[in-house]
Amino acid sequence: MNGLSWKHIALVLGAFAVVVLAIQTTGVAPATAAKSLLEGSMGGPAAWRQTLREMTPLVMAGLAVFIALRAGLFNIGADGQLVMGSITAAVVAQSIPGVGGVILGSLAAMLAGALWAFPAGWIKAYRGGHEVISTIMLNNVAGFLTTWMVAGPLRDVKQQSPTTRLLPPGSSLPNLIDSPPFKVSTALLFGVVGVVCLAFWLKKTVAGYELSATGANPIAAETAGVNVKAVTLKAMMASGALAGLAGAFIVLAFEHRFYANFSSGYGFDALGVALLSGGSPLGLVPAAFLFAVISSGTSALQLTGVPKGLSGILLGILIIVFASIKYRRSKLGDS
Amino acid sequence: MATVEIGLLVASTVTLGAPLILAALGGLTSERAGVMNIALEGTMLASSCTVAIIGLKSQNPWIALSAGIAVSVCLMMLHAVLTQAFSIDQIISGMAINALSIGGTGLLSKALLNDTDLARSPFLSVTLYWWAAVVAVGWLAFYLKRTKGGLHLLAVGNDPDKSRQMGLEPVKVRYLALMATGLLCGVAGALIVSNSGNFSENMTAGRGYIALAALIIGGWRPIPTLVACLVFGLIQASQLHFQGTQLAGANVPPEFWNALPYLVTLIALAGLLGKSRAPAGLGKP
Amino acid sequence: MDVKLAGITQSFGKVRALDSVCFTATSGAIHAIVGENGAGKTTLMRVLYGAQKPESGSIEIAGRVVHFRNSKDAISSGIGMVSQHYSIIPELTCLQNLMLGAEPGWFVNPSVAEKRAFDLAAQMGYAFEWNSLAETLSPAGKQKLEILKLLWREARVMILDEPTAMLSPGDSDALFESLRKLATDGATIIVVTHRLPEVIDHCKTVTVLRGGKSIDSKLVTETDSNQLAELIVGHAVETTSNSKPDIGPVRLQLQSLTVRGYRGDDALDNANLEIHSGEIVGLAGVDGNGQRELFQALVGRTKARKGKILFDGIEWSSLGPRQRIACGLRLIPEDRHAEGVVDDWSLIENAALGLQRLKPFASGSWVNVEARRDAALRIADRFQTKHGGIRHPMRSLSGGNQQRFVVARALDGDPSLILAFQPTRGLDIDGTAQVYAALRAACLKGASAFVVCFDLDELLANCDRVVAISHGKIQSPRPGEERDRQAIGRLMVGAA
């Protein structure tokens, strides 16, 4: 059952064909496109800087979706939770200067993310309402809410477009390495540390064990004494908190302010990262790297005439191929 | 004066509601057969893009519409194959299709469409689509109540195992149902692009999810879903018409109106709007 | 339409489900097929219904030999079956359920369909609200609808598998009234049942199956309950006399325990039971009489509607599974895939499932991996579970070995109360003997064990005493008859 059959091979070939065709419609030769993508993402310090910058929030956001997935939940709402975290971090760091602001901003962002995930978690645990729909709804509400806030109450009136005030230099996450044109933020380090911590937590704590049980077989978990409802709710909130933290990182490390239409679909990518991690938290790092390469590579590719949409195509195809091998719906009564 | 305003409001409601209706009915066919479908958004978008591109190239609106429908049906068949033949989780499949579509339409529209060119291509009159929406509702309501195919659809979506015992073939029914979803979403996408006259990236703007929301609130039945779509359409129309005016003495930001359909759905899911009755076999193999 | 099955043989893997079975049913009468769980009754009927192609044997309908490729063939030959678990879809209306799969045409004319439904129902003396949802029907109502489904499809041979399993005595009588009427109209009725009173009261002939063989076929007028019960369970097998162990004080008490079933009625009805320290008590009964509900209530996943559960004097009624496990409850579940293990997890991880919070598997919030590994090895060794390494997933073990592991896990350490549901499922004679020996060892240390099993012989050979469950009520045999096969058999089938 786990072996690759002809239909998987057909799927992979089909996927490959789609990508090649898509590139060809733009008039660029696929081989050239591949080369440009690799060069644009890894071909020099500036490229690496961009790739690592893309990777940083993806690690944390991927972690967020991963922990929900472990508990059996599809957190499509990482976008909304991330955005709520971002705006909270921006506001808090504005009011409290220096390192204190950074730390408090991050914590506040986690709280905001957790609160934003709470309704979806509660509805799933206690009402049985599917979390996919509720998290998507919350995404949209978060988008509108933050758009309004940044155009209204939180707006920096000195700027043309709606944005909060720029954070002072002392209120940001420092860079790990800063030798232009290459830069990498400490946020990336925090992300990797987070991944390692989660891996440790899942393997070594009873709570981690019970969370994994809840996602793997809720009935067996309940029979084994796990409080499945409570675990579901807590997992969702933890997921939201981590997504919120990812949002805080974007503000504190890179953007230094919050503006409308902030999140360029990190939530989607985070889902892909979590799915491609292959079931172990440590896989999140290479998966985030892969998606970052695609993201920065396709950005660079735009210059040669291939629009950014290619990244979406690659994302979708990667998920499909990977899922067909790994995430098959378990049939009832499999032995 | 007031009657003109109301007339405008009604017209806007119908215009904004029609694509929702078609997409929601597409979701209904799929989910009533037991297949969760969160790819309505991507499917509509793909159709919009195809209609725009083919319309430009062929200068024939009917060919464009057919192409849009064909593309939508293909995407829904992909969903069917992935979920039935490859047993991929239905949510994952849906999200992947959305990603494919957003990426694909972004790529193709930038490569093959030029804004000024589009002004030259013909689109079918929007009224045609309104009628399509109305007919679709009527037909689906009739189909579910009065035909053998409709009964099989309901049975398979409620209990695929018992349906097999009674001699039905759930997998076949699901493939057919998803074809219908493709058709309906194809028309919805065509309407969206015909209404606006040009294609912009991500122009469906979340309407696929609102359609899903309407479907949930409408209890997966055609007529209540129609009502929910019209209500959502009214909300969107109100945002356009009442922008800037006062409501209960306060300045209501446009974002509030935008967010309203989503908030309402959230409340419905929490069970506060009465029990939400999904087809019992949703998601079952 | 007469039905004749001859020489039907069917195996599933190594198990001979049917061994050269012969069966005849004439039109105009009700014929009963009786036997315990696993005797082959359902398999035989599936053969007749076309759902199972037999390895050998023949089917004759109205004198002609037929070959069924699938159920559709059987249905067009005029055979209809009502399965034990009705195939009524609650979210559809009664009329929709009636028609499903046998619609008159592409377009359904509701008034025409309703008229035909009404006429068929009137023929049988039934009345239905055709447009109301089927979920409003009582079990008896669903049963009636299933019969009408057969009439709608013009069945002449009607098979009913355990038709009264979910019916009250009054409804059962009414059902047989209907069946008698159908028989008088010329249909061939075959009833698969384990309830002897029904057979005696209503049927013309009875065929007894045991272990896949047809033991005997008689006219009901020429036999009685006792003789039938004896044929069903077979003659007493030589049991090694177990010296009566020392039983200690009462540990588990069920007092008037009542649990609601999913159908809304009481699946467990005022159950009373006491199990002592050192005792292995067996629960005999045919599947579907409340065993599962009893189990779930004992595990703590469902709350009782009425009554109490006490263990070592502590009232368990408000405690959840976790606390009960902490008190020493260990479970061997009926369906290990659904309730007992995580298929994708390794043996190490599965070893701790249920005990993850207790020492030595955890110290505080930290997992003790060493302890888990030791436990996994110990558990795997106990019954010689064959495995490829304790890091391998549970999935990689064969069914029998998975069962060995699950049983060993429950008996590891010092359990106080062992609940076992079909613990020897998939095990051979040796494995079975080992399991019961281990249960006995645990009980000698003072534990109590409660075993649910569908094999009466196994219970009688291994338990200190056996009680029976029927229709949700626990019946204890009279003093002196605690291990009397006949007596318990009668309690199981409601014949006492």
Return the beta strands (E) in C277-345 as ranges.
280-284, 306-311, 314-315, 329-332
Q: Which of A25, A23, A45 is nearest to A35 (CA)?
A: A23
Summarize the confidence of residues B266-280 as an average pLDDT.
68
Interchain contact C87–B (C-beta under 8 A): yes
pLDDT of C168: 66
Q: Which CATH class is domain B3-244+251-269?
A: mainly alpha
Residue type, A5: S
Phi-psi region of A2 (alpha: psi -120 to 50; beta: other; left: phi over 0): alpha
Residue type, A77: G
In sequence order, the 6+-apart residues with CB closer than 8 A to the CB of C478 are: C487
Nearest CA distance, B147 vs chain A (angstrom): 31
Residues of B in contact with C52 (CB under 8 A): none
Q: Do C343 and A334 touch (CB under 8 A)?
A: yes
CA dihedral sign of residues C211, C214, C217, C222? negative
Q: Are C211 and C37 in contact (CB under 8 A)?
A: no
* DSSP structure class, residue C93: B
At C267, phi and psi to the nearest 5?
-75, -30
Segment B198-257, tens digit of pLDDT: 888 888 878 898 898 888 888 899 999 999 999 888 888 877 777 656 555 466 777 787
Q: How far is CA A34 from the centre of its chain?
A: 25
Q: How far is CA C145 from the centre of its chain?
A: 23
Helix/strand/coil for B78 = helix
| Interatomic CA distance for residues A286 and A322, integer angstroms | 14
Please count the CA atoms within 13 angstroms of the CA of B160 that sit on its side-chain side: 19
Is it true that the peptide bond before A307 is cis, omega within 30 degrees of 0? no
Helix/strand/coil for C133 = strand
Residue among A8, A327, A331 minimizing CB distance to B92: A327
Interchain contact A158–B (C-beta under 8 A): no
Q: Which residue of A has its CA nearest to C329?
A: A224
Q: How many CB atoms lie within 10 A of CB A198?
A: 21
Residues of C in contact with A209 (CB under 8 A): 349, 352, 356, 367
Helix/strand/coil for B120 = coil
Residue among A206, A216, A223 minimizing CB distance to C357: A206
| Interatomic CA distance for residues A226 and A72, integer angstroms | 14
Q: Do B155 and C100 touch (CB under 8 A)?
A: yes
- Domain chopping of chain A, boundaries: 28-329
| Interatomic CA distance for residues C141 and C97, integer angstroms | 12
Residues of C in contact with A226 (CB under 8 A): 322
Residues of A in contact with B209 (CB under 8 A): 133, 136-137, 140
Residues of A in contact with B103 (CB under 8 A): 309-316
Residue among B87, B91, B99 minimizing CB distance to A74: B91
Per-residue confidence in pLDDT tens, chain A, 335 aa: 455 678 888 888 888 898 888 888 888 888 888 888 888 888 888 888 888 988 999 999 999 999 999 999 999 999 999 999 999 998 898 888 888 888 999 999 999 999 999 999 998 888 877 788 889 889 989 988 888 888 877 777 777 777 777 777 777 777 877 777 788 888 899 999 999 999 999 999 999 999 999 999 999 999 999 999 999 999 999 999 999 999 999 988 888 888 877 766 788 889 999 999 988 899 999 999 999 999 888 888 888 778 888 888 988 999 898 888 876 554 332 22
| Interatomic CA distance for residues C154 and C186, integer angstroms | 12
CB pairs under 8 A between B and C: 52
Element (H, E) at C349: helix C347-351
Residues of B in contact with A151 (CB under 8 A): 253
Please name the residue that has the structure tokens 């929406």.
B133
Helix/strand/coil for B171 = helix
pLDDT of B55: 87
Nearest CA distance, B101 vs chain A (angstrom): 7
Q: Do B107 and A25 touch (CB under 8 A)?
A: yes
Is it true that the peptide bond before A57 is cis, omega within 30 degrees of 0? no
Token pair recorded at residue C147: 């019969």
pLDDT of C13: 77
pLDDT of B182: 96
- Domain chopping of chain B, boundaries: 3-244+251-269
Interchain contact C106–B (C-beta under 8 A): yes
Instruction: Please work out, in degrees rounded to the nearest 5, the angle formed at the alpha carbon of residue B220 by the alpha carbons of B218 and B226.
Output: 45
pLDDT of A243: 95
| Interatomic CA distance for residues B167 and C43, integer angstroms | 19
Residue among C345, C349, C367 minimizing CB distance to A206: C367
| Interatomic CA distance for residues C249 and C9, integer angstroms | 50
Question: What is chain C's alpha carbon radius of gyration, rounded to the nearest angstrom?
Answer: 25
What topology is assigned to A28-329 in CATH? ABC transporter involved in vitamin B12 uptake, BtuC (1.10.3470)
Token pair recorded at residue C454: 């569908």
- Output b/e per residue, C373-389; b: 16+ Cβ within 10 A: bebbeebbebbebebee
Helix/strand/coil for C324 = helix
Residue among B146, B158, B279 minimizing CB distance to C108: B146
Q: Which residue of B has its CA nearest to A333?
A: B285
**Beta pairing partners, C217:** C207
pLDDT of C288: 72
| Interatomic CA distance for residues C193 and A226, integer angstroms | 40
Summarize the confidence of residues B79-90 as an average pLDDT.
91
Segment B99-117, tens digit of pLDDT: 999 989 988 888 787 766 6
| Interatomic CA distance for residues A81 and A75, integer angstroms | 10
Q: Which residues of chain C have pLDDT under 70?
A: 37, 165-166, 168-169, 235-244, 262-264, 494-496
Q: Are A273 and A284 in contact (CB under 8 A)?
A: yes
Q: Are C229 and C489 in contact (CB under 8 A)?
A: yes
Residues of A in contact with B93 (CB under 8 A): 320, 323
| Interatomic CA distance for residues C97 and C90, integer angstroms | 9
**SS3 assignment for chain A:** CCCCCHHHHHHHHHHHHHHHHHHHHCCCCHHHHHHHHHHHHHCCHHHHHHHHHHHHHHHHHHHHHHHHHHCCCCCCCHHHHHHHHHHHHHHHHHHCCHHHHHHHHHHHHHHHHHHHHHHHHHHHHHHCCCHHHHHHHHHHHHHHHHHHHHHCCCCCCCCCCCECCCCCCCCCCCEEEEECCEEEEHHHHHHHHHHHHHHHHHHHEHHHHHHHHHHHCHHHHHHCCCCHHHHHHHHHHHHHHHHHHHHHHHHHHHHCCCECCCCCCHHHHHHHHHHHCCCCHHHHHHHHHHHHHHHHHHHHHHHHCCCCHHHHHHHHHHHHHHHHHHCECCCCCCC
> Which residues of B lie inside 8 Å of C (Cβ-Cβ)?
146-149, 151-152, 154-155, 158-159, 162-163, 165-168, 279-280
**Is the interface score ipTM higher than 0.90?**
no
Q: Are C412 and C379 in contact (CB under 8 A)?
A: yes
Residue among B146, B165, B280 minimizing CB distance to C87: B165
Nearest CA distance, C161 vs chain B (angstrom): 14
Give me the sheet containing C314-315, strands edge to edge.
C266-276, C250-260, C306-311, C314-315
Helix/strand/coil for B57 = helix
Interchain contact C99–B (C-beta under 8 A): yes
In sequence order, the 6+-apart residues with CB closer than 8 A to the CB of B195 are: B15, B19, B126, B129
| Strands C205-210 and C29-34, bridge-based pairing | parallel
Residues of A in contact with C338 (CB under 8 A): 217, 219-220
Residue type, B160: P
Residues of A in contact with C331 (CB under 8 A): 223
Please name the residue that has the structure tokens 């036997």.
C35
| Interatomic CA distance for residues A32 and A267, integer angstroms | 30
| Interatomic CA distance for residues A189 and C299, integer angstroms | 46
Segment B188-207, tens digit of pLDDT: 999 998 888 888 888 887 88
Helix/strand/coil for B158 = helix
Token pair recorded at residue A4: 């690759």
Helix/strand/coil for C110 = helix
| Interatomic CA distance for residues C42 and C26, integer angstroms | 19
Element (H, E) at B177: helix B170-196
Please count the CA atoms within 13 angstroms of the CA of C77 that sit on its side-chain side: 26
pLDDT of A331: 39
* DSSP structure class, residue B198: S
Q: What is the pTM of this model?
A: 0.84
Q: Which residue of B has its CA nearest to C149?
A: B166
